[in-house]
Amino acid sequence: MAAGQEQVEALIIGAGPAGMMAAEVLAQAGHRVVLVEAKPSIARKLLMAGKSGLNLTKAEDPARFLAAYGTAADWLAPLLAGFGPEAVQDWARGLGQPVFTGSTGRVFPKVMKASPLVRAWAARLGALGVERRTRWRWTGWDGAAVLFDTPEGPRRVLADATVLALGGASWARLGSDGAWAGILAGAGVTPTPFAPANAGICIHWSPHMSRHFGTPVKGAALRAGPVLSRGEFVISARGLEGGGVYPLSPQMRAGARLHVDLLPDRTAAWITERLARPRGKATVAAHLRKSLKLDPARLALLQEFGRPLPDTPEALARCLKALPIAHTGLRPLDEAISTAGGVPRAALDDGLMLTARPGTFCAGEMLDWEAPTGGYLLTGCLATGRHAGRAAAAWLSGGTLDASVEISPRLS
């Protein structure tokens, strides 16, 4: 074999959740696995997400859980059935990480961090014989050879099966830069263009809003098109951020207008009756605070986007129930939590193998699926990584997808 070239059974490119899951499945099936990562360490985006509490999955009705994946729900359904919320929780426990379910159904490790889970997972992969190589950046193919730039110079790897788990195109500093799209396009696979998902929105605020920067807004509801979101959001110097805004990214990308209901638990009739009461010498702002218990942040939003304020109780009630939010679009792609677009389903077979390049499988966020935050993203990455790993194991064995290839629930 030529210098700088080696032969491996299973090559995994990308050491995030999808790639690590594919590596585990293949190693448990008895194959020699090499896990390659362009960054100096593994699971960087997962570790960053875990700094504010690692949301593993969502414990809820299966149909509702699946619906969160939108237009990709149909083709993801069998993958999520194979590794859904219950399996994710068992997997975390098997790595020595007890979990708990919050009041909204979100599931977290009890330590509220990603680092213990990642350390335990890396140890298990090592015990299974997975070879790990960092600072290896994939640069494409030369015939059957997979090419890398490494600290030791260019390297060529001949792999019997390859799993690409390269992430999306957001948070490039953590490894997801989308550079792989050009490589795949050169190989006859045209990715769906990238777009920000789970992103904040850009707003040019009036000066009076500066004192509210960093303030969370609770007890409100945001709507874009047919989708309603009741999560908390934050007024930031650049716009609105947070879990209440992120699920509306697909609708806003499609051009839907954004409205906020500042009093979602009150009817317009109730608000009108309160506002119709005599206010005497009180200002409109004071009347709103006293009669509706409107906190300063919600009052500031009303004054920012409702100007001039309607002069009748009925019109003001309508404004409070559907306040139009003037914004200039989603935050840039690299600031988004995740990415829409990527490898289209039509380019893959049922095992997530590229039909244009047999023996090469894709998994994780680089696939063209989109889900909101709240545990759906990570569950989807784990499920697709597991499925691609099982399909790659079947490819290596010369058979069909083998249901006996499973993840061990316990540490080795």
Q: What are the b/e assignments for 330-346, b being 16+ CB within 10 Å?
A: bbebeebbbbbbbbebe
List every span in the chain annotated with CATH 3.50.50.60. 5-196+335-397
Please state, as a whole number, how many other Cβ atoms lie within 10 Å of the Cβ of residue 111. Answer: 15
User: What DSSP letter does each residue of 40-61 carry, written as one string?
Assistant: SSS-HHHHHHGGG----EE-S-
- Please state whether 92 falls in left (phi above 0), alpha (psi between -120 and 50) or beta: alpha
Q: What are the b/e assignments for 398-408, b being 16+ CB within 10 Å?
A: eeeeeeebebe
pLDDT in tens, 195-219: 999 999 999 999 999 999 999 999 9
Instruction: Name beta bridge partners: 57.
Output: 107
Chain-centre distance for alpha carbon 47: 14
Please state, as a whole number, how many other Cβ atoms lie within 10 Å of the Cβ of residue 176. Answer: 24
C-alpha span between 203 and 190 (Å, rounded): 33
pLDDT in tens, 30-74: 999 999 999 999 999 999 988 878 999 999 999 999 999 999 999
Residue where the block lists tokens 């790990």 = 132
Angle separating helix axes 115-127 and 17-28, nearest 10 degrees: 30
The CA angle 179-13-152, to the nearest 5 degrees, is: 85
118: exposed, middle or buried (C-beta count within 10 Å: 0-12, 13-18, 19+)?
buried
29: exposed, middle or buried (C-beta count within 10 Å: 0-12, 13-18, 19+)?
buried
The CA angle 390-398-19, to the nearest 5 degrees, is: 25
pTM higher than 0.85 for the full model?
yes
Mean pLDDT throughout 363-384? 96
C-alpha span between 21 and 19 (Å, rounded): 5
Query: What is the reported pLDDT for 77?
Result: 98
* The pLDDT of residue 400 is above 80: no
C-alpha span between 267 and 122 (Å, rounded): 53
* The pLDDT of residue 282 is above 90: no
pLDDT in tens, 140-183: 999 999 999 999 999 999 999 999 999 999 989 999 999 999 99
C-alpha span between 368 and 346 (Å, rounded): 10
Q: Which fold has domain 5-196+335-397?
A: FAD/NAD(P)-binding domain (3.50.50)
* The pLDDT of residue 409 is above 80: no
User: What DSSP letter does each residue of 206-251 carry, written as one string?
Assistant: -GGGGGGTTEEE-S-EEEETTEEE-S-EEEETTEEESTTTGGGHHH
pLDDT in tens, 317-327: 999 999 999 99
